Amino acid sequence: MSNYLPIIGITMGDASGVGPEVIVKSLNHHVVYQQCRPLVIGDAGRLELANTIVNGTAKIRRIKEASEAQYEPGTIDCIDLNLIPADLPFGQLSAVAGDGAYRFIARAVELAEARQIDAICTAPLNKEALHAGGHKYPGHTEMLAHLTHVDEVSMMLVAPQLRVIHVTTHMGIIDAIRKIEPGLVQRTIERGNATLIKAGIERPRIGVCGINPHAGENGLFGYGEEEEKIIPAVKILQDKGLDVTGPLPADTLFFRAGRGDFDLVVAMYHDQGHGPVKVLGLEAGVNVTVGLEVIRTSVDHGTAFDIAGKGIADERSMLEALRQGAELATRRG
């Protein structure tokens, strides 16, 4: 691996949630500075407040441009957009915080496109606050796709001993089944395969979930969705030389992946993939957006309004998201 330490742009997320706290907690760990050069895009005043709440010893350095950052352990460099009122309460839905979360992301995309940062790592936002702030996106993934002018991306969740990529994400189950088709399944698997190759897995072993119980069990369950929507894509990819198996029953596939039989599971819809990941590693889970020009990782938890501002938020998912972002960024071609 190169000795180059990638610059990771860390977006602060919803200022009313735990994002500011998990960021300052993470950047009080000096080991982060051995993995990457962290640069927060957010609100310096909010970070200072969060640092006080968590009893952090690091200092916050307010800067305007990425070129001003010094990346010194013990000092947190923050491109300060100065959008968050000092008296904004923690734990409450806020249109101001929702708008801020969008603007932090938009600035990070500008920096990535200008090659001033090598990856983006996002703290959580609140979808209702985002919408209240005037930005009608289902979440980070769709927002980033729009801002980077990419038509289609995939969500990959990474937890200890398990990686899951999703064919569909934020939509109802009926809509998800309707949207699944061989082309989308094929492109999703190809994106996941390419990402794992970049991460150092020469020939990823990929297991594909069915849609119905027992993957349809030869037509016993469902209306032939596996044969119509999944099997054609699997056959094409197998002919291309990819190590793809399926469709397989989801209830046993996740167990097999957890014990090491597969490097990647392909889930057909949101809860099929999210449930097993969160059972195995909620605090250490990472969300990776696959298909963007820039590497993007994220914590695999929400804004946690119920504990925001109390200094008890767990930073392990942020630490792992930074580590994964640095690993993927340094391996970019």
Mean predicted lDDT score pLDDT of the chain: 93
Quick one: 160 and 137 in the same domain? no
Between 49 and 276, name the one with better pLDDT.
Answer: 49
* Cα-based distances in Å from 261 to 87, 146, 161, 162, 165: 51, 35, 10, 10, 16
Question: Where would I find the H helices in the chain?
Answer: 19-27, 32-35, 44-53, 95-113, 127-132, 140-147, 173-179, 182-198, 225, 231-239, 250-258, 270-281, 316-330
pLDDT score recorded for residue 47:
98
Interatomic CA distance for residues 266 and 253, integer angstroms: 10
pLDDT score recorded for residue 333:
46
Query: How do residues 255-269 score in pLDDT, each as one tens digit?
Result: 999 999 999 999 999
pLDDT score recorded for residue 2:
57
Tokens of 298: 């994220």
Residue 218 binned pLDDT confidence (cut-offs 50, 70, 90) = confident
For the whole model, what pTM was predicted?
Answer: 0.84
User: Of 207, 214, 209, which is closest to residue 260 (Cα–Cα)?
Assistant: 207
Residue 247 binned pLDDT confidence (cut-offs 50, 70, 90) = very high
Quick one: 203 and 271 in the same domain? yes
Provide the percentage of residues in the chain whose pLDDT is more than 90.
78
| Gyration radius of the chain's alpha carbons | 20
Q: Which residues pair with 264 in a beta bridge?
A: 206
Q: Which residues pair with 77 in a beta bridge?
A: 61
Contact 21, 10 (CB under 8 A): no
Contact 167, 180 (CB under 8 A): yes
pLDDT score recorded for residue 282:
58
CATH code of residue 192: 3.40.718.10
Residue 283 above 70 pLDDT? no
What mean pLDDT comes out for the span 130-136? 96
Local structure of residue 31 (DSSP, 8 states) = T
Between 301 and 98, name the one with better pLDDT.
Answer: 98
Residue 284 above 70 pLDDT? no
pLDDT score recorded for residue 219:
82
Residue 315 above 80 pLDDT? yes
Number of structural domains the chain divides into: 2
pLDDT score recorded for residue 113:
93
Tokens of 318: 């942020």
Contact 58, 76 (CB under 8 A): yes
Quick one: 120 and 180 in the same domain? no
Domain range for 76: 1-150+292-333
Tokens of 189: 């698997």
Quick one: 239 and 303 in the same domain? no
Quick one: 3 and 55 in the same domain? yes
Quick one: 174 and 316 in the same domain? no
Local structure of residue 294 (DSSP, 8 states) = S
Residue 172 above 50 pLDDT? yes
The type of residue at 33 is Y
Residue 56 above 90 pLDDT? yes
Quick one: 242 and 302 in the same domain? no
Contact 160, 281 (CB under 8 A): yes
pLDDT score recorded for residue 73:
96
Query: How do residues 173-203 score in pLDDT, each as one tens digit?
Result: 999 999 999 999 999 999 999 989 877 799 9
Query: How do residues 293-313 score in pLDDT, each as one tens digit?
Result: 888 999 978 999 999 999 999
Quick one: 17 and 108 in the same domain? yes
Quick one: 10 and 134 in the same domain? yes
What mean pLDDT comes out for the span 67-83? 97
Query: How do residues 155-169 score in pLDDT, each as one tens digit?
Result: 999 887 899 999 998
Quick one: 62 and 176 in the same domain? no
pLDDT score recorded for residue 74:
96
Contact 282, 242 (CB under 8 A): no
Residue 12 above 70 pLDDT? yes
Quick one: 25 and 91 in the same domain? yes
Quick one: 130 and 57 in the same domain? yes
Residue 48 binned pLDDT confidence (cut-offs 50, 70, 90) = very high
Local structure of residue 242 (DSSP, 8 states) = -
